[in-house]
Amino acid sequence: MNLKVFATYKLPGNPGALFGKEGISFSENLLPRLLRTEELIEQAAEADGIISLLGDKIDADVINKLKKCRVIANYAVGFNNIDLNAARERGITVTNTPDVLSAATAEIAFLLILAAARNLNAGEKMMRNKVFLGWSPELLLGYGLEGKTLGLVGAGRIAQKVAKMALGFGMNIIYFSRSVKPEMPGRFVPLSELMATSDVISLHIPLDETTNNLISADLLDLMKPSAIFVNTARGEVADEKHLIALLKKRKIYAAGLDVYTNEPNFNHALTTLDNVVLLPHIGSATFETRTAMAHLAANNVISVLKGGEPITPVAS
């Protein structure tokens, strides 16, 4: 019987070739947008395997309408868009794309740290508006990183890469995570201590029931006036409204954000603030990584459909 795989969006790296070699037929949504739920169900209903994006809401309703699906390969490391319980009940394996995107995402975290610390946004704007009046002693002063404390929330692969980069910049590292990680450089501290004592705070935790709004208003209030807050994980893990209020009142120095609550909508108040650097969720967006993610997703699907073990199943 001919196996069918459907990808909800066109992916780089020609994953179709991998399926072709295995005699698996492959189709993909060619529209330059996410599918609406009804469209997704219609196009995926008969597929044996599905490659989904983090913007596809694969809830119990969708999962129960998939007739033959045995594997859903999320084209992301995060999988908060998929109802894992519903998948488990239907015997569907769920996989993600860890490791291949850790360096790319850590690089974006560091880009945001540097950009927020050194006023990249304001400086760029000045040049584009042609209002550069010449070198001056106090033009766009920011904060240096050397000798400062970086507080990492999370101690997974991405956090570990950010930590290594930070060591190169001469930063001290503290971290908070569910458990002490011996492979993580730096000292484990309680979350409140991390928020209160870090010069730079960077989030590297997945979104789930235990981390939704983990970085609450109360915790955000502990930050130093000179603190820099960076989020490349998921918007929902921090109280975004409160963060905006703190930035507006200049209760912290700056923020760098790659992720937002309720994407792709985002709070437009952010665009009025000059002490925040904004990116459109591009943590893993390198040519190398997005191709590697497509191949890993495809190989996960192939492995499961051929009766083998998934390469990178999600922990559930």
Task: Find the shortest distance in angstroms from Cβ 26 to ligand GLV.
Answer: 21
Interface residues toward ligand GLV, by CB under 6 A = 54, 76-78, 98, 101-102, 156-159, 204, 283-284
Check if 242 is active-site. Answer: no
- Sheet strands side by side (includes 93-95): 25-28, 4-7, 49-52, 71-74, 93-95
**DSSP one-letter string for 201-236:** EEE----STTTTT-B-HHHHTTS-TT-EEEE-S-GG
Judge contact between 12 and 287, C-beta under 8 A.
yes
Residues sharing a CB contact under 8 Å with residue 138, sequence separation 6 or more, in sequence order: none
Q: With beta carbons less than 8 A apart as the criterion, state whether 290 and 70 touch.
A: no
Question: From residue 28, how far is each of 2, 43, 199 by CA, in Å?
Answer: 17, 9, 45
309 part of the active site: no
Nearer to ligand GLV, 113 or 246 (CB): 113
Query: Residues 242, 281, 290, 295: which is the catalytic one?
Result: 281
SS3 48: coil
Of residues 70 and 234, the one with the C-beta less far from ligand GLV: 234
Q: Token match 């997005």: residue?
A: 290
**Which residue among the candidates 70, 157, 234, 295 is catalytic per the annotation?**
234
Shortest Cβ distance from residue 171 to ligand GLV (Å)? Answer: 19
C-beta of 299: minimal distance to ligand GLV in Å?
A: 17
Q: Which is nearer to ligand GLV, 242 or 281 (CB)?
A: 281
The CB-of-226 to ligand GLV minimum distance in angstroms stands at 27
Is 281 considered catalytic here?
A: yes
Which position has the token pair 């550069």? Answer: 132
Beta carbon nearer to ligand GLV, 156 or 186: 156
What residues act catalytically? 234, 263, 281
